[in-house]
Amino acid sequence: MSVKFLSAASFGYGALARSSKVCAAALAVFVGLSEGVSAETVTIAALGDSLSHGYGLPAGQGFVPQLQAWLDANGADAKVLNAGVSGDTTAGGLSRVDWTLTDDVDAMIVELGGNDLLRGVDPDVSRQNLSGILSAAHAKEVEVLLVGIEGTANFGADYKQRFDAMYPDLAQEFGTLYYPNFFAGIAAGGVTPETLRNFMQPDGIHPNAEGVKLIIAAIGPSVLELVNAAQ
C-alpha cells in the first residue's frame, strides 16, 4: 500500500481534515494487516520416516510432539504436522511430497535416507529423490530444513562418502537450512553401549523417549531458524 502525501495548499481546511482522516484510517488498516502477518502461525510438515513418525513410542513422546512442546516452550508460533511414515525411503517421500505440501504448509523438515542406507540403495538414486523433494518445496516457495544422517561403512568407503556428501551438497544447491545428523543430540558424548541402553530402543535403530528429548534439544535451534525464515 502506498500513501500519497498532499500539501495543505491544495485543499481547504475541511478537505484537508477529511484527507487526514482517510490517511489515518488507511494507516490503521496497514498496521493491523502487518500485525496479522507477523503473528501468523507457521505450519511445518515433518516429512520423514519412522524417526519422524515416532516408531515404538507412546503418543506424545515421538519426535513431532516433543518438537511441538519444545517450540511452544521457546515462544515459537508454529504448528508441526507429522508427515512421517515408518519404513519410508527417499523414493516414498518423493511420491507423497506433492500432497504433503498443501497450501497451509509454510515450511518443511525433510528427514529421509535412513531406510535407503539400511537397504543399500545407490546414493545417486537417493540424491535424485531428495532433489525432487527439494524442487517441489522450492516450487511452492516452502522453506526447508534438510536433516542428514551419517552413513556406515557396511557397503564400503565409497558408498559412505557418496551418501554423506549428498545432504550438504543438496542443501547448498537449493539454499536450504541444513542439520548434518539427526542423531547429533545422542551422539554428542560418543556412541557407547551405555548410550545405546539409555537412549535407544532395543532395536538399536530408533531412539527412546529420552533419546528423542536429546535429539530435540540439539535440533530445536535449527527449527527455530526455519520458523523465522518462513515468517
Residue 221 belongs to a domain with what CATH number?
3.40.50.1110
State the residue range of the domain holding 1.
Answer: 1-39
Q: Based on the fold, state whether residues 29 and 137 are members of the same structural domain.
A: no
Q: Is the pTM higher than 0.75?
A: yes
Q: Based on the fold, state whether residues 53 and 32 are members of the same structural domain.
A: no
* List 50, 88, 106, 116, catalytic entry: 50
Structure confidence at residue 28 (pLDDT)? 41
Q: Based on the fold, state whether residues 77 and 117 are members of the same structural domain.
A: yes
Whether 206 is a known active-site residue: answer: yes
Q: How far is 49 from 92, CA to CA, in rounded Å?
A: 9
Intervals of the chain under pLDDT 70: 1-39
74 grid coordinates:
521457546
Count of the separate structural domains present in the chain: 2
Q: Based on the fold, state whether residues 59 and 35 are members of the same structural domain.
A: no
**CB-CB contact of 46 with 81 (8 Å):** yes
Q: Can you tell me which residue has the cell 530444513?
A: 145
Whether 203 is a known active-site residue: answer: yes
Q: How does DSSP classify residue 179? A: E
Structure confidence at residue 188 (pLDDT)? 86
* List 7, 10, 158, 203, catalytic entry: 203
* List 88, 95, 206, 222, catalytic entry: 206
Q: Based on the fold, state whether residues 17 and 93 are members of the same structural domain.
A: no
Q: Based on the fold, state whether residues 88 and 35 are members of the same structural domain.
A: no
Structure confidence at residue 145 (pLDDT)? 99
Q: Based on the fold, state whether residues 137 and 207 are members of the same structural domain.
A: yes
Q: Based on the fold, state whether residues 107 and 16 are members of the same structural domain.
A: no
Three-state SS for 23-86 is HHHHHHHHHHHHHHHHCCCEEEEEEECHHHHCCCCCCCCCHHHHHHHHHHHCCCCEEEEEEECC
Q: Based on the fold, state whether residues 23 and 65 are members of the same structural domain.
A: no
